[in-house]
Structure 1
Amino acid sequence: MEDLPWLDAIVSRIVPPETAPSIDATVLWWVLAAALIACAVPLTWLRVRLGVTLVHELGHAFVGVMVGRKFNGFVLRGDMSGAAVTQGKARGFGRVATTWAGYPAPAILGAALAWFAGRGWAAPTVTLLMLLLVIAMIRVRSWLTAGVTLISLAGFAALWWWRYDEIQALVLIGIAIVLVVGAWRHLGAVVTQPSPSSDPGVLAQLTRVPAFLWNLSFAIVCGLATWGVAQFFLP
C-alpha cells in the first residue's frame, strides 16, 4: 500500500499522546485569571457570552436529536440571546428534555473539556469539537450565527493544525472555566428576571413543576461542573 502523507498528517493531529502533558501550575493559575477576567469585564463578556449562548442552543439541539426530534436550525441574536428550533411532539418527555438541556449545556461541556484535557485527550477532543461545529454550520439561520460559529471553528482548526499538546490542554481548560462561569451567569440572569417564555417558564407550563425547581436542577448541574473543573486547582 502506498504511503499517504496527508492521512498520516491527519491521524497525527487526532491521536492522543502516550502520556498526558505536564501542565505548569503557575501557567494554570494564569489561565484561570484570564478566563475569570473575560467573564467579569463587560467589554469581553459581551463577546464571550455569544460562545456560551452558542453552546446553550446547541445543547437544545443535541438533546433534541437524541430524543428523536428534528433539528431545524438555530440563531444567535445581537442582544446575546438565541433560539434553537426543533420539531416534534408539543409535549412529553422529548420536549421537556430538549427544553431543559440549554442552561446546563455550557457547564456540562466545560466539565467534559476539563476532564479530557487533564487526561491527555485534548487532541481528539479538539477534533470532535471541529466536527460538531462543521455539522452545526448546516443549521445556522443568521449571519451573526454563521460568524460566531465560523470564528469558533477557525480557532479550533488552528489549535488542531499547529498541535502542541500542552497549549491544547490549557486552551480547553480555559474554555471550560469560561463555560462554567458563563453557565452560572446565564442562570443568574434567568433567576433574577423570570419570564414565562424562558426555559424554566416553559418547563413549568409543560410539567406543572414550579420554575424554581427547574432552576434548582440547573444549579445542581452547574455546581457539579464547578467542582469538576476546580479539581485542577485543589492540592
Structure 2
Amino acid sequence: MLLDLWDRATTTQPPLTWPVSLLLGVVALALTWSPAGYRLVRHLVTLVHEAGHALVAALVGRRLTGIRLHSDTSGVTVSRGRPRGPGMVATVLAGYPAPALVGLAGAYLLGAGYAAGLLWGLVLTCALMLVLIRNLYGLWVVLATGASVALLSWSVSGRMLSAVAYLVVWSLLLAAPRSVVELQRQRRRRGGRGSDADQLARLTGLPAGLWIVAFWLVCAVCLVLGVRELTQGLG
C-alpha cells in the first residue's frame, strides 16, 4: 500500500499544453471572482494561510497550541513563545503570502511533471494539520479537503490528475491577491484591529497599510511568475 502511494506520488506526467492550462486558468478565475466559487476556494486559501503560520511558528521555535478554521472562511493559529521579536513577526507575516508562494511552487512542480506529488503533498498537509485542529468545523474542512484530494489522486487518470492539480494551483495564485484586497476592505468597514497587518503594525511600528502593500506585492509577483510557468509556450 505504502509503495503504491509512493509510486503514485512520484510518478511524473507531461505538463499540460498552454491552451489547456490557460483554459483551466479561466475556470479558476471564474471561481475566484464569483461569490459562491470564491467562498469554496477561500476555504483552501485559509487552510494554506494557517498552515503557513503554523510552519513558520514551528521553524522559529514557537510552540503550536492549535488551529481553528471557521465557517466564514476565517481562521486562527495560536502559538506560544515570546510575544515580540523576529520570531513572532515572521510567524504573523507568513499567513497571507503562503497561498501565493505555495501556488508558485506548485506551478514549478507542474512544469517538472509532478502533478501527483503536488496533490499528495496537499493530502499530507491536511493529515499533519489534523493534530492541530481545535474545532469541529475546522476538522470537517481539513478532513473533507484531504479525503477529496486523496480520492481523486488515487482514482483518476494521469491527465485528469494533472487537470485537477493545475486548477488547484491556478486557484491559489488567483485567490491569494484577492484575499489581500478583502483584508483591506474589511479593515475599512470594521477597523480590523486583529488582522495580521494590524498585528504586524503593533509588533514593528510600521503602518498596517504598508504590510498590506507588501502582502499584495508578494502575491502579485507570484501570480506573474506562476502564470509564466503555467503557460510556457504561449507566444
Tell me if TM exceeds 0.5.
yes
* Cross-structure match for 1:3: none
- 1:190 pairs with one of 171, 177, 183: 183
- What amino acid sits opposite 2:35 in the alignment? P
**Hey, what does 2:36 align to over in structure 1?**
43
Partner of 1:212: 209
Is the Cα–Cα contact under 8 Å of residues 21 and 165 in structure 1 kept in the other structure? no
Q: Aligned partners of 1:97, 1:170: CA distance in 2, in Å?
A: 34
Preserved CA contact (<8 Å) 1:52 1:182: yes
- 2:67 counterpart SS class: strand
Q: Secondary structure at the match of 1:193?
A: helix
**Does the aligned pair in 2 maintain the 1:114–1:172 contact within 8 Å?**
no
- How far apart, in 2, do the equivalents of 1:93 and 1:167 lie? 43
8 A Cα contact 1:200 1:215, kept in partner: yes
CA shift, 1:109, in A, is 0.7
Of residues 81, 89, 96, the one that matches 1:96 is 89
Report runs of 4+ in structure 1 exceeding 4 Å deviation: none
Give unpaired runs (5+ residues) of structure 1.
Answer: 1-5
Q: Deviations over 1:179-229 (max 9, x none)?
A: 122211110022233222111111010111111221122122112211122
- Paired residue secondary structure (1:72): strand
Partner of 1:200: 197
Q: Which residue of 1 aligns with 2:20?
A: 27
User: Which residue number in structure 2 is paired with residue 56 of structure 1?
Assistant: 49
Q: How much does 1:35 deviate?
A: 0.7
Structure 2 residues not aligned, in runs of 5+: none
Larger radius of gyration: 1
Partners of 2:102 and 2:197 in 1: how far apart? 20
Identity of aligned residues (%): 34
SS in 2 for 1:78: coil
d(CA) in 1 for partners of 2:58, 2:158: 32
1:166 to 159, 165, 181: 159
Contact 2:54–2:91, Cα closer than 8 Å, also in 1? yes
1:132 and 2:125 equivalent? yes
Structure 2 CA distance for aligned equivalents of residues 51 and 127 of structure 1: 15
Partner of 1:80: 73
The alpha carbon displacement at 1:168 in A equals 2.6
Matched positions, count = 228
| 1:105 maps to 2:102 | no
Equivalent AA in structure 2 for residue 208 of structure 1: G
Q: 1:15 aligns with which of 10, 21, 40?
A: 10
CA distance in 2, matches of 1:40, 1:97: 30
Secondary structure class of the residue paired with 2:9: coil
Report the residue type matching 2:5 in the other structure: I
Mapped partners of 2:196, 2:138: distance in 1: 20
So what's the TM-score if we normalise by structure 1?
0.90
Structure 2 contact 15–110 (Cα < 8 Å) conserved: no
1:227 equivalent in alignment to 2:214: no
Shift in CA distance, 110/7, structure 1 to aligned 2, threshold 3 Å: closer
